[in-house]
Homo-oligomer: A and B are copies of this chain.
Amino acid sequence: MLNLSISTISRALKDHPDISKETREKVQELAATLEYEPNENAVNLRTNNSKEFGVIIPAISNYFYHFFISSLEEEARRYGYSLIILQSGDDPAIEQANVKRCRKARLSGIFISLTSSTEDISEILNLEKVNIPVIFFDKVPPFEACNKVCVGDVHATEIAADTLIKKSKKKILAIFGDKHLSITQARMVAFIDYMQKHHMQKNYNVVHALNPAEAATLLQIAYRSKTKPDAIFCMSDEILTGVMKAVQIEKINVPKDIGIVAISDGFIPQLYYPEITYAETSGYKLGKLAFSRMIACLAGTPFVQNIVAHSVLIPGGSI
């Protein structure tokens, strides 16, 4: 329509200096009225870049991930990227397949939280070789040199434990999750160390629950025993919901009979009265951190980094 070649149009649309201001304006104007939109597939083919990030997670239905994704999506939009969600259903085989899909789709980068039973992450690390940055978050591999963004387990545990000490609790029931999860390990070790450091070895009792129901049972048993606990430490939201169920069943008076402190991202604690005091592990914050790390990788930052998000204590009335 303007008697210009395709290449001129292409250049005019992206303000290439070769194109005169006059032509450029004419082209851009016409493009606007025609509602011209470049074909992304063609652009991607040509530039070998998809402007899409993959997000691989065990499952969306989790206290944590939807905050994280939501946060990530906000940032992504600002930078003109889209987010592709892939669930592994906590199955390493599906996870592997999802990683493959990301490679195949030539995504610009991926964010991944591992399943609880992922052993082999070599395929994932291979993505870096085809120039797809990988940011691990939340459930990260233990020792590898890779980009990790995760909750500061030690810090969160410590500030939660600290409130127990400050309140001079002497019979603490500390409930942790599945022993085999690294998150459990990290928090447990941090808890025990911190207690040790403050000469509280005699004042707590560590137990494990695989699900909320088990946590509830554990508390019920402890509460009915002659050595009633005077405080509960909940490693996670999942544990907390179980504990609170028991609190309601046994009509336990919180915080008078038993104080409660948890590590949480904040949604669950405010459902109860009194609201639960917790060390905050914000999926939202983590999303921002992970995204900025991704941007750094895309910009070519060579070294890997292990980012740990710090927590703050959100006081409720539960202790």
Residues of A within 8 A of B (CB): 37-42, 44-45, 48, 50, 52, 59-61, 65-67, 69-70, 73-74, 77, 82-87, 89, 94, 100-101, 103-106, 241, 244-245, 248-249, 268, 271-273
A87 touches B60 (CB 8 A): no
Q: How far is the CA of A83 from the CA of B56 in the complex (A)?
A: 12
Q: Which residue of B lies closest to A102 (CB)?
A: B82
- Check B86 against A73 for contact (C-beta < 8 Å): yes
- In whole angstroms, how far apart are the Cα atoms of A86 and B74 in the complex? 9
Partner of A52, one of B66, B84, B241: B84
Please report the C-alpha to C-alpha distance between residue A104 and residue B73 in the assembled complex, in whole angstroms: 18
Name the one of B59, B104, B268 contacting A70, with C-beta atoms under 8 angstroms.
B59
**Across the interface, do B66 and A61 meet the contact criterion of CB distance under 8 Å?**
yes
Contact A60 B69 (CB under 8 A): yes
Of the residues B69, B82, B106, contact of A41 by C-beta under 8 Å: B106
Find chain B residues with CB under 8 A from A48 CB: 41
With A and B bound together, what is the CA distance between A100 and B82 in angstroms?
Answer: 13
Q: A106-B39, A244-B271 are in contact. Are A73 and B87 (CB under 8 A)?
A: yes
Does the CB pair A85–B83 fall under 8 Å?
yes
> What would be 29 A-B contacts, judged by CB atoms less than 8 Å apart?
A37-B103, A38-B104, A39-B45, A39-B106, A40-B104, A40-B105, A41-B44, A42-B45, A44-B44, A45-B45, A52-B84, A59-B70, A60-B60, A61-B67, A65-B66, A69-B85, A70-B87, A73-B87, A74-B89, A77-B86, A77-B87, A77-B94, A82-B85, A82-B86, A82-B105, A85-B85, A245-B271, A245-B272, A248-B272
CA distance A105 to B44 in the complex (A): 10
Residues of B within 8 A of A100 (CB): 37
The closest CB in chain B to the CB of A248 belongs to: B273
Q: How far is the CA of A10 from the CA of B67 in the complex (A)?
A: 43
What is the minimal beta-carbon distance from A136 to any residue of chain B, in angstroms? 20
Give the docked Cα–Cα distance between A273 and B82 (Å).
41
A83 to B85 Cα, complex, angstroms: 6
The minimal Cβ–Cβ distance linking A317 to chain B, given in whole angstroms, is 11
Minimum Cβ distance to chain B for residue A92 (Å): 15
